[in-house]
């Protein structure tokens, strides 16, 4: 069963703002008290398998078993689909929501699954399709939680968008001072794409925490390997607006670096201790 509550705030028109509403002025105190179960503002574990970002087997127009038939596949494809949807659900839905379904494995055993919501970046997915902004926010959130080593790392996920908007008074900014980089794109598009950029000043810290997907995994031969479909576009300073001093997030980034100058505000910034 699905339950839903909560509203995703609107924002100014740009890439990813289909039917955009008026942008919020200032910082939202509500971002610190709603939609997040682990902390004031979206601390989450990230150990997503890179291969789970292959969405070819999924129809993600609505969060339902009928639309997500791949969830019931007893094979490896089903396992990846369930892993992706588990993370996507925790990104999209808030802590009052969840997605439940059952599937049967190849031995005939019935499995009951329940994926709780957490961050609440697109809670209306519980009752209908994701709009473009919702697609982008969920995509950035899922990509930010990919880990090259599949090692859980506690991080701070921030954004200009509610409910991930941080305040200058937030203790989270003190506890997670090293901005790692940013993630943005659309995994639900006809031609899915994801971008990542890194904060040049904190690359060593990120790698020390086993977080390689913003700057790329560095091999023993000195080669940089990207994390699956996540394209590394370089230092954030080249493609994003400067860090917001109050909330320590990148307000906007070039949506398709090298192809267009259009920007998007649907950006997920990550930070580490």
Cα 181 from chain centre: 13
pLDDT of residue 122: 95
72 neighbors 81 (Cβ within 8 angstroms): no
pLDDT of residue 18: 34
pLDDT of residue 44: 53
The tokens describing 35, both together, are 């939609």
DSSP class per residue in 170-224? -HHHHHS-EEEEEEEEETTSSS-EEEEEE-GGGHHHHHHTT--TTT-EEPTTS-E
Within 10 Å of residue 26's Cβ, how many Cβ atoms?
Answer: 8
Please give the tally of structural domains in the chain: 1
pLDDT of residue 151: 80
pLDDT in tens, the chain (273 residues): 332 222 222 222 234 433 333 233 333 332 333 222 222 233 455 666 777 776 666 666 678 777 778 889 899 888 888 888 888 999 999 999 999 999 999 999 999 999 999 999 999 998 888 999 999 999 999 999 888 888 888 889 999 998 999 888 888 888 889 999 999 999 888 888 999 999 999 999 999 998 989 998 888 888 888 888 899 999 999 999 999 988 899 999 999 999 999 999 999 999 998
- The answer as to whether 233 is a domain residue is yes
- The answer as to whether 13 is a domain residue is no
pLDDT of residue 64: 78
> Domain range spanning residue 118?
29-272
- The answer as to whether 75 is a domain residue is yes
- The answer as to whether 208 is a domain residue is yes
pLDDT of residue 60: 67
143 neighbors 230 (Cβ within 8 angstroms): yes
- The answer as to whether 252 is a domain residue is yes
Q: What is the pTM of this model?
A: 0.81
- The answer as to whether 103 is a domain residue is yes
- The answer as to whether 257 is a domain residue is yes
The tokens describing 66, both together, are 């009928």
- The answer as to whether 19 is a domain residue is no
The tokens describing 252, both together, are 């906007």
């Amino acid at each position: 069963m699905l339950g839903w509550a909560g509203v995703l705030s609107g924002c100014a028109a740009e890439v990813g703002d289909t039917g955009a509403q008026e942008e919020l002025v200032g910082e939202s105190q509500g971002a610190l008290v709603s939609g997040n179960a682990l902390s004031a503002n979206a601390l989450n574990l990230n150990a997503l398998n890179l291969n789970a970002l292959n969405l070819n087997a999924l129809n993600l127009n609505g969060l339902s078993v009928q639309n997500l038939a791949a969830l019931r596949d007893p094979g490896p494809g089903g396992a990846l689909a369930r892993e992706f949807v588990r993370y996507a659900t925790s990104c999209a839905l808030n802590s009052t929501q969840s997605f439940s379904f059952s599937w049967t494995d190849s031995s005939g055993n019935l499995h009951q699954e329940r994926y709780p919501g957490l961050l609440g970046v697109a809670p209306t997915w519980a009752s209908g399709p994701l709009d473009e902004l919702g697609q982008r926010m969920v995509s950035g959130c899922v990509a930010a939680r990919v880990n090259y080593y599949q090692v859980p790392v506690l991080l701070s996920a921030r954004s200009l968008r509610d409910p991930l908007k941080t305040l200058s008074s937030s203790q989270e900014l003190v506890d997670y001072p090293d901005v790692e980089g940013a993630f943005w794109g659309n995994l639900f598009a006809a031609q899915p794409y994801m971008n990542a950029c890194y904060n040049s000043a904190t690359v060593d810290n990120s790698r020390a925490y086993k977080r390689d997907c913003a700057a790329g995994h560095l091999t023993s031969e000195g080669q940089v390997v990207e994390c699956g479909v996540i394209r590394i576009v370089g230092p954030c300073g080249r493609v994003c607006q400067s860090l917001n001093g109050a909330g320590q997030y990148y307000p906007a980034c070039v949506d398709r670096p090298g192809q267009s100058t259009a920007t998007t505000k649907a950006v997920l910034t990550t930070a580490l201790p």
